[in-house]
Amino acid sequence: MSFSSVLTNRNFAGLLAANTILGAAFPIQLILGGLAGLMLAPDPVLATLPSSVQTFAGMLAAAPFSLLMGRMGRKTGFALGGLITLGGAIAAMQALYTQNFTLLCAAHFLMGAGWASFQYFRFAAGEVVEKNWRPVAISLMLSSLLVAALVGPQVFIAAKDAMAPIPFVGAYAAMGVIAVVGLIPLAFVRMPVAKRGTPDRLASRFAAFAALRRPAIKRAVGIGAVSQGVMVFLMIPTPIAMVACGFSADTASDVVRWHIVAMFAPSFFTGFLIKRFGAQTIATLGLIIIVAAAVAASLGITAMHFYGSLIVLGLGWNFGFIGATTMLDAAVTEDEKAAVQGANDTIIALVSTVCAFAAGLVVSSLGWAALALMSACLVLVALTVLALNRFALARA
């Protein structure tokens, strides 16, 4: 199989199209969570509660979706995720019509659960191509989220007042349409049938979870969790820190936009780098780049410091996260895949949730520079553990 055959692979193309369309819903969810929450919350302190509930739901749904896909197939899991997202969008529209904040939180819980299923597109991409092209397929699948990140906010702008006089109802309706349209390309995808183990093996789910103790899998999960967690730890409080430093909200938003571009744009070549140098090498390089980004962020509070550090942070996350995903894909067997991938995404979501909540506390109490240095220290600890682990393996 050549690179051109990967691009012309009908199954890969269908997954790529579906992920691009469905991914456009996520930026809309992020924007609406705060704005609709502020409009309906009984207290401004609770304005971000819908977004927090959404993140929590993603953490809870990650493992069940993986197990469901292992039993009934990827397409079933993606379809269910799309339908749950549609249900959440409809519930949010009703919440705005009735001015019901509790229903809005429930709606974002559903949307967060639906989004958890879409995280497995990156693993599905590796299952429809030959083994030696899996890093490229995984990387290209994540690159589609660059398009989604750029298109989603534009959809929000175009649709937010489409069902006036109530603000944002049109944006939720657009998200429901996206959830349905995104499932259409999946009709043309034929996923390989999962190989099933023996009945005795399948009788115990703990057998697969025991694989998490293997060094190769622990390294992959650890690098993925650190890459995602520290990225969230630095990204979430960036707008707060910038506004506190005197920058406008528009400038802060632009910094985050370029950070997102830096997260996904390198995906067009990250897979080829992994194919050439190896997944763990690129993942480790990603962690080193994240350290550089955190140190740069701590050195000043000019626009150049914020733009530069967040762009470098996006590049480091890309190398670390895609490298870790490829490492995990190579380390698991078919019988272990559903349980281990579910556990991996649950751990990553848990770390991200903790980091998201902790970031606001740290930046408000200790300041931006302290948060940046703390981020660098966390990654340096991870790099030290990796180095000691490699040294121990070399001695053994």
State the CATH number of the domain containing residue 293.
Answer: 1.20.1250.20
Whether 192 is in a domain gets the answer no
Whether 173 is in a domain gets the answer yes
Asked if 1 and 100 sit in the same domain, the reply is yes
Whether 198 is in a domain gets the answer no
Asked if 167 and 223 sit in the same domain, the reply is no
Asked if 241 and 291 sit in the same domain, the reply is yes
Structural domain boundaries enclosing 316: 205-396
pLDDT tens, position by position, for the chain (396 residues)?
565 666 567 888 999 999 999 988 887 887 787 778 878 988 876 776 787 788 888 888 988 898 898 888 899 999 999 999 999 999 999 999 999 999 999 999 999 999 999 989 988 988 888 877 788 888 888 888 788 778 887 888 888 888 888 888 999 999 999 999 999 999 988 887 655 544 444 444 565 567 778 888 989 999 999 999 999 888 878 877 887 888 886 787 678 778 888 988 888 888 889 988 999 999 999 999 999 999 999 999 899 999 999 999 999 999 999 999 999 988 888 778 878 888 888 888 888 878 877 877 788 788 899 999 999 999 999 999 888 877 776 776
Asked if 253 and 123 sit in the same domain, the reply is no
Asked if 223 and 274 sit in the same domain, the reply is yes
Whether 19 is in a domain gets the answer yes
Of 141, 156, 187, the residue at which a domain comes to its end is 187
Q: What angle do CA 150, 145, 268 make, to 5 degrees?
A: 105
| Residue 190 zone, left/alpha/beta (φ > 0; ψ -120 to 50; rest) | beta
Quote the CA–CA distance of 296 and 310 in Å, as a whole number.
Answer: 9
What sign does the dihedral 313-314-315-319 (CA atoms) show?
A: positive
| Residue 164 zone, left/alpha/beta (φ > 0; ψ -120 to 50; rest) | beta
Quote the CA–CA distance of 113 and 115 in Å, as a whole number.
Answer: 5
Whether 193 is in a domain gets the answer no
Asked if 33 and 66 sit in the same domain, the reply is yes
User: Do 89 and 179 touch, CB atoms closer than 8 A?
Assistant: yes
Q: Which amino acid is at 376?
A: A
Quote the CA–CA distance of 249 and 326 in Å, as a whole number.
Answer: 37
The pLDDT, as a whole number, for residue 3 is 59
Quote the CA–CA distance of 225 and 218 in Å, as a whole number.
Answer: 10
Whether 297 is in a domain gets the answer yes
| pLDDT, tens only, 29-50 | 877 877 788 789 888 767 767 8
Could you give phi then psi for residue 384, rounded to 5 degrees? -65, -45
Of 154, 187, 220, the residue at which a domain comes to its end is 187
Whether 200 is in a domain gets the answer no
Whether 84 is in a domain gets the answer yes
pTM of the model: 0.75
Quote the CA–CA distance of 105 and 26 in Å, as a whole number.
Answer: 16
The pLDDT, as a whole number, for residue 388 is 83
Core vs surface per residue 59-86: b (16+ CB within 10 A) or e: bebbbebbbbbbeebbbebbbbbbbbbb
Asked if 282 and 148 sit in the same domain, the reply is no
Of 153, 187, 221, the residue at which a domain comes to its end is 187
The pLDDT, as a whole number, for residue 200 is 45
The pLDDT, as a whole number, for residue 212 is 76
Asked if 362 and 250 sit in the same domain, the reply is yes
Asked if 32 and 109 sit in the same domain, the reply is yes
What sign does the dihedral 42-44-46-47 (CA atoms) show?
A: positive
The pLDDT, as a whole number, for residue 295 is 95
Asked if 40 and 175 sit in the same domain, the reply is yes
Quote the CA–CA distance of 36 and 389 in Å, as a whole number.
Answer: 47
Asked if 228 and 343 sit in the same domain, the reply is yes
Structural domains in the chain (count):
2
User: Do 146 and 27 touch, CB atoms closer than 8 A?
Assistant: no
Asked if 176 and 224 sit in the same domain, the reply is no
Residues near 94 by Cβ (< 8 Å), separated by ≥ 6?
100, 103, 107
